[in-house]
Structure 1
Amino acid sequence: MAHLLLAPSEEHMRAKDALKTADRSKNAFLAILAHELRNPLAPIRSAVQILNREGSLAPESQWALSAIERQLRQMARLIDDLVDVARITTNRLDLRTERVDLAAVLRAAVETSGTLVTAGGQELTVALPDEPICLDADPIRLAQAVSNLLNNAAKYTEPGGRIWLIAERHGGEAVITVRDTGVGMSPALLSSIFEMFTQGEQSRARTLGGLGIGLTMVKRLVEMHGGTVSADSGGQDMGSTFVVRLPIVESAAQQPHAEGSPKMGTSSLRVLIVDDNRDAADSLAMLLRITGNDIRTAYDGPEALQVASEFRPDAVLLDIGLPKMDGHEVAQQIRREPWGQRICLIAVTGWSDETDRAKSRAAGFDHHLVKPLDTAHLAQLLDAVERPARG
């Protein structure tokens, strides 16, 4: 009898362990898939940046280049979504909160989603409050949540339709409303709209892709900020309304430092680029060489150490997954050399998790950038390397 009573429990534990193992395998697969998909995007983005510097492209060529750039951004966003699936399911989404003005966050969200709305042919109306509304929030993650709502509205609204983004203060809450005149939602869909991989009707040739996790991300991010999100619709072809409520703080927002949007300007650094993907290394080398830098390339770990020893670079852009010797070991060996103490080491990799960033810090890297590179961010980092030399 005791055996009969214990058997279901043991079977339950085995099933539970099997589910945990399968979940870990899924998350590991998604991380590897994201890494492998990011690698070929890196040389494409560098090539686009190189061509963007040409001032005499024919209109047709300029359109083609713009189309490549738009689709590249879309592909990078989908890869980020893949990684976020694992982060959501394992509660590893982290917030970096600061005092922010809600209007600045919403402007960033509109900038992110503007291309999709324009391509969809919708009219976007933005109504921001006259007075600042201050929040303790992660500005990047909160902008991501609002951008996901705008993207969702654009995806399910026909060309010529309308989308509204409205921010108001109601008592101690900030209320953000995203409303559209799109296809609407049935009661059945409304009940599950924030669940993972849920997608609405994609008829009318409005299939713009996506993984079905955007609204799940919205709910998770809003709740992490201490808020709530709700969805409503009058039904088919009656549009949809999403309302986000967030707690307000009363003190003034910290004013951000005035910074432009740096492009890959001219500089004169000695830069070593290391990547076993030759297209990635060579295209980035070409871009940085055009902007006035002295560049060397290497394609595996031992070659990187040899070139670094002879070249004595100011900065090294170093891939992690190298043959013969990985990027972490290369970084550690550079740091052991007297000439390697002050070199700026920048990891350039498809691995984006916080554990990957921690490994880079432990190996001696100063920065960890994820492929495809944000060239504006890279410009900032290289400018900071150069600044002491200007003295």
Structure 2
Amino acid sequence: VFTQGRQGLDRGKGGLGLGLAIVRSLVELHGGTVAARSAGPGQGSEFTVRLPGADLAESAPDSQTPQPSAPAPFAPRRVLVVDDNEDAAETLKQSLEAAGHSVIVAHDGAAALRIVAEFSPDVAVLDIGLPVMDGYELARKLREHPSFRALPLIALTGYGSEADRSLAKAAGFSAHLVKPIAVDRLEALVLGLTREPRAGESASSSR
């Protein structure tokens, strides 16, 4: 469903492929299904969402039934998203905020370098195909800064060959994701690349 008509480091359009993945995750969370059907390019698409019905009487909580204890408090991460595609950046921002994280967006490398010192992110998600200063150069500049040498960096790219992964690693990236990306995979990386803060401590203070 989600394909980019033209892929390259200079591409200015195209999404992350997150939209339907977010819909599917939400629908499956409620025990439902989502299906897509299309007659072909230019013919439009039909999406069908099916959700189970609920018996209100059965779903009402029983005052005599012990309720499960509340889960441990979630420690949100501070995430910097850098993507020149405003729609893709906003979709990514919304998906991470829906998971409870604090997110700020920049649309080019220069803006990211201005923002990063003040925002002090716990992890940064960088699109490789940025204009003027691409994601590789931005990663290298962040690594040159004493405060961000250990900042986890996640690369977003349309290319997934071993050579591309090697380029990302050489530039200082901690992880390499190929579009379209899976929301759960990105969320796992955001949490996995940053240490769980202790109570009363922000994640950024661990660096």
Shorter-chain TM-score category? 0.5 to 0.7
Check conservation: 2:81, 2:103, Cα contact below 8 A. Answer: yes
Are 2:18 and 1:46 aligned?
Answer: yes
| Residue 317 (structure 1) aligned with residue 116 (structure 2) | no
Distance (Å, rounded) in 2 between the aligned partners of 1:54 and 1:352: 28
Corresponding residue number in structure 2 for 1:334: 142
CA deviations 1:12-43 (Å, max 9, x no partner) are xxxxxxxxxxxxxxxxxxxx955589x7351x
| 2:178 counterpart letter in structure 1 | V
Q: Percent identity?
A: 38
**SS of 2:160's equivalent?**
coil
Q: Deviations over 1:212-262 (max 9, x none)?
A: xxxxxxxxxxxxxxxxxxxxxxxxxxxxxxxxxxxxxxxxxxxxxxxxxxx
Higher helix share: 1
- Among 36, 41, 49, the alignment partner of 1:67 is 36
Amino acid at match of 2:160: S
- Give me the whole-angstrom Cα distance separating, in 1, the residues matched to 2:94 and 2:126: 16
State the match for 1:286 in structure 2. Answer: 94
Q: CA deviation at 1:376?
A: 2.7
Question: Which runs of structure 2 are paired with 1:1-391 in the superposition (5 Å)?
Answer: 33=6, 35=8, 40-42=14-16, 45-52=17-24, 54=26, 65-67=34-36, 268-390=76-198
Shift of 1:268: 0.5
Give the SS at the match of 1:387.
coil
In 1, Cα distance between equivalents of 2:23 and 2:180: 16
Secondary structure at the aligned position of 1:40 is classed as coil
Distance in 1 (alpha carbons) for counterparts of 2:198 and 2:164: 33
Instruction: Output the amino acid matched with 1:311.
Output: F
Q: Which moved more, 1:335-344 or 1:375-384?
A: 375-384
1:302–1:324 CA contact under 8 A, matched in 2: no
Unpaired stretches in structure 2, ≥5 consecutive residues: 41-73, 200-207
- The residue identity in structure 2 corresponding to 1:361 is K
- Give a deviation string over 1:25-72, Cα, whole Å, max 9, x none: xxxxxxx955589x7351xx32224434556xxxxxx77x5317xx9x
For the Cα contact (< 8 Å) 1:49–1:287, is it kept in 2? Answer: no
Q: Deviations over 1:298-342 (max 9, x none)?
A: 111101111112111111110111112111111111111122022
Q: Which amino acid aligns with 1:40?
A: G
Q: Which runs of 4+ in 1 moved over 6 A?
A: none
In 1: Cα distance, 2:82 partner to 2:113 partner: 10
Contact 2:124 2:151 in 1 (8 A): yes
For 1:49 and 1:267, the matched residues in 2 are separated by: 24
| Offset at residue 381 of structure 1 (A) | 1.3
Matches of 2:25 and 2:186, distance apart in 1: 17
State the secondary structure of the residue aligned to 2:18.
helix
Please give the per-residue CA displacement for 1:153-193, whole angstroms capped at 9, x wherever unaligned.
xxxxxxxxxxxxxxxxxxxxxxxxxxxxxxxxxxxxxxxxx
Highest CA radius of gyration, 1 or 2?
Answer: 1
Q: What is the distance in 1 between the residues matched to 2:149 and 2:196?
A: 15
Alpha-carbon separation, structure 2, partners of 1:390 and 1:357: 33
Please say if residues 95 and 183 of structure 2, whose CA atoms lie closer than 8 Å, have aligned partners that are also in contact: no
CA gap of 1:306–1:66, structure 2 versus 1, over 3 A, is farther
User: Match of 2:133, as an amino acid?
Assistant: M
1:267 and 1:291 in contact (8 A); partners too: no
How far residue 353 of structure 1 moved from its aligned partner, in angstroms, is 1.7
Give the equivalent residue in structure 2 for 1:225.
none
Counterpart Cα distance in 1 of 2:177 and 2:127: 10
Q: Is the 8 A contact 1:320 1:328 kept in 2?
A: yes
* Alignment size in residue pairs: 155
Counterpart of 1:47, as a letter, is G
